[in-house]
Structure 1
C-alpha cells in the first residue's frame, strides 16, 4: 500500500527544504556518498570548518576557520587538559569524573572542575599554554557558563594536534581513548553520535557539543520519564561577538587509522530549529567534507517522521527499545526485512528498516518512503 501521509511529507520537507506538493519530497537520499567534496553547508546554517591531514601536514577543508562560536561541551576537552596539565597520567581518583565527562558529555563533572579550578582561569591558562588565537573565556556576567567559552575551528585543530603530538602519552591515550568510547546517549539523554560519528566508520574519537533552547529534551536510550537539562551550557543571550542565541551543534575529533585527520565542524542553526533537523544538517555537512583516511558507511539515507520513534533489537515490538530517535532525524538504512505488522491508523506496514549505526530496527511506517517497502534498498 502506498502511503503519502501528510506527517511524513511534512517531515520530509523539514529535512530537504522541498516545496509543498513535490512528488520527490519523500524520496530517499540514495546510497551513502562514496567520495568527498568541498564543504556543503545546508541552507540557513552558519558554519566554521577545518580538516587537517596529519599525514601531509595540510588542511583539506577551511571555512570560516577563525570564526568564534560558543563552544558548548567541546570545551570539556580543555577542562580535562587543564586538570591533567603537569601530570604524566590520569590519576585513578579522577577517572570517575573525567571518563563520563569525555565519553558521555557529563555536565556535572564539567561544572565541578570549572568551579574547583577557577572557572575562566582555566581558559586563560590553556590559551597561553597552547597558543590559541581565538579562544576566550565566557563574557562578563556569564562566568559560570563554561559552554559560553569562545572557540574556533582552527583553535580546535590546534588542541587536537597538541593532544596527538605533544601531550604525555598516558594523557593522550587517556583523553583520546575516552573520546573513542563516546556513548551514543549522553548523560542528559541526547543522542550525540551526529556529525563525525554518523558520517564516518570507526576508528574515530569525538567530542561533541550542543546548546539550544529549541532542542527538545533528550530521549536517547531506553524510554525515560524525564531528561536532565544541560545545567551550565545554556543561558540568556548577551551582547558579544559570539552568538549565544541560535541553536549550536558541533562535532570535533579525529578520523581514520592513526588519527590521520583532525576534523572540527561548528554550526549554528536558525532560532527554533528542532534537534533532529540540526542533527541531520550537521550530518550532511560532515559527509560532504574531504577527510583523508575516512571510511564511509554503506547504505541509504532516509528521513523519518514522528516523535520518539523506538529503535528495536529486532523487526518487532516484543522486546524493549534500544533507544529512541531524535524527532524527524535522517537515518542510514542498511537493509530491510518483513517483520511484525505495525498499525498507525490509517497506515499499516509489515516492513522494517535495519539501522546499522544503531544495530537496531525501526518500522518502515516511520520512514519517509513512497511505498511500504523502500525502493532500491536490499532485503536483509
Structure 2
C-alpha cells in the first residue's frame, strides 16, 4: 500500500538534492541552487557562525561571530590545551592520561572533563587559556555556576582562534595529539548521543570535529550499545572572575566545530540555540541544514538525498532485514542522507507495509522505507542500490 505522510512528521519536510556540489539542498526533483555566501538559519534557531579559509586567510561566512553561547563540550578542547601547555619539550602524554584525554576529545566523555576541571582550578583553566590565546569573548561560567564547565561562554570567532592556534602556532606534538583525536570522533558519544551532526554530517572526510550539546529537552541518547548518560554537573566551585552575564543558559544548545578539507583548509564554527522543548532529532536536523548551506572551501559533500524520518528509536540494520541486531538507533525524527534503496524484508507497522529499504551511507546501514517521509513506498528520486 502507498504510505501517506504522517501528520506527526509533517514539520520535517522532505529535503532532496544530490550532494557533491557546493550547494544548499533543494527539494526533490528541483535544480540544486548554487552556494551562496550567506548562512541559512532555520526558523526559531539562533546561531553564531564563522568559516575561515586558511588557504586565502579570509572568512567566507560570518554571522553573529562575537555572540556568546554556553560552550557545552566545546570547552573540552581548551581543557586539553591547558593540560598540554607546559608539557614540553617532548609533550609526552603518558598512557594513564591518554585513557581519559582521548575519550574526552573523541567521544566527549564528561567524567574526564569533570575530573580535570575539579583538579586543575575550574574557572582558572578558562582564565589561563583566555590569556594565552588572546580570546576576546570567552568567559568563565556565571557566578553560582562555577562548577559547570559547560557554561563557559564561547563565540564563533574565538572558536576559530582556538583552531588557528592549534593548526598554525601550537607545537607539532600538541597539534598532532589534539587534531589527531578530533579526526577520530566517534559517532556515538559516551552518553549515547549521536554526535555526527553539523560538520560531520554535511561534509565527507577529511574532517576533524568537536561537538557540543546541552538541553533538558534532549531525550536520552540511544546511539550504539546501552550505556550511562552523564551530566555537566561537577567541578570546582569557588570565587570566579568576571563572567558573561549575557549567555543564554535556558535554550537547548547544539554546536559543531572543527576543520574540513585536505590540510584542514577550512575552520568551521557553528554554535546554535533552539527553542525550549526542541527534541534532539529536530535540533540535529536544523544544524545539519544550516551547515549544508555554508560556503566551505575545500569541502566535499556526500552524494545522496536528504529525507526526514518519523518515529523514535528507529533501528539502523546491517542489511535490509530485521534478522540481525541493529547497528545503532536514529535520533527521533532526524533527517538522514539516503544513498540508494533496495527491496528487502517486508516490514509491517500497522497500518503500513513496505518491502523497500533505504541505505544510509553515513551509518553504513539500512532502515525500512516505512520510516522515511515519502508519499510512496519507494522514494521517487532515489536510485536503486
Measured against the shorter chain, the TM-score band is over 0.9
Are the equivalent residues in 2 in contact too, given 1:219–1:227 (CA < 8 A)? no
> Which aligned pairs between 1:74-93 and structure 2 lie closer than 5 A?
74-88=74-88, 89-92=91-94, 93=96
Number of corresponding residues: 362
Query: CA separation in 1, counterparts of 2:310 and 2:71?
Result: 30
Q: Is the 8 A contact 1:90 1:171 kept in 2?
A: no
Distance in 2 between residues matched to 1:197 and 1:4, nearest whole Å:
31
| TM norm structure 1 | 0.93
**By how many angstroms is 1:114 displaced?**
0.3
Q: Deviations over 1:225-267 (max 9, x none)?
A: x641323399xxx993100000000000000000000000000
Query: What is the CA–CA distance in structure 2 between the aligned matches of 1:12 and 1:173, rounded to whole Å?
Result: 45
Stretch of structure 1 that moved more, 85-94 or 103-112 = 85-94
**Preserved contact between residue 118 and residue 234 of structure 2 (Cα < 8 Å):** no
- Measured in 1, the distance between the counterparts of 2:338 and 2:10 equals 16
Task: Give the TM-score normalised by structure 2.
Answer: 0.92
Q: Could you tell me which residue of structure 2 aligns to residue 126 of structure 1?
A: 129
Question: Partner residue of 1:32?
Answer: 19
CA deviations over 1:105-136 (Å, ceiling 9, x no partner): 00000000001110000000000000000000
The equivalent residue for 1:265 is 270
Q: Which runs of 5+ in 2 are unaligned?
A: 23-34, 236-242
Offset at residue 5 of structure 1 (A): 4.5
Which stretches in structure 1 are left out of the alignment for 5+ residues?
A: 17-26
Question: Following superposition of structure 1 onto structure 2, how do residues 156-305 of structure 1 map, counting pairs within 5 Å?
Answer: 156-222=159-225, 224=226, 227-232=228-233, 240-305=245-310
- Which contiguous aligned blocks of 4+ residues in structure 1 show a shift greater than 3 angstroms? none
CA-to-aligned-CA distance 1:255-295 (integer Å, 9 cap, x gap)? 00000000000000000000000000000000000100000
SS in 2 for 1:331: strand
Match of 1:324 in 2: 329
Deviation string for 1:194-214 (max 9, x for gaps)? 000000000000000000000
Does structure 1 conserve the Cα–Cα contact (< 8 Å) formed by 2:20 and 2:300?
no
Q: CA RMSD in A?
A: 1.5
Q: CA separation of 1:365/1:292 partners in 2, compared to 1, >3 Å: closer, same or farther?
A: same
| CA 1:297–1:139: 2 relative to 1, 3 Å | same
CA distance in 2, matches of 1:329, 1:66: 29
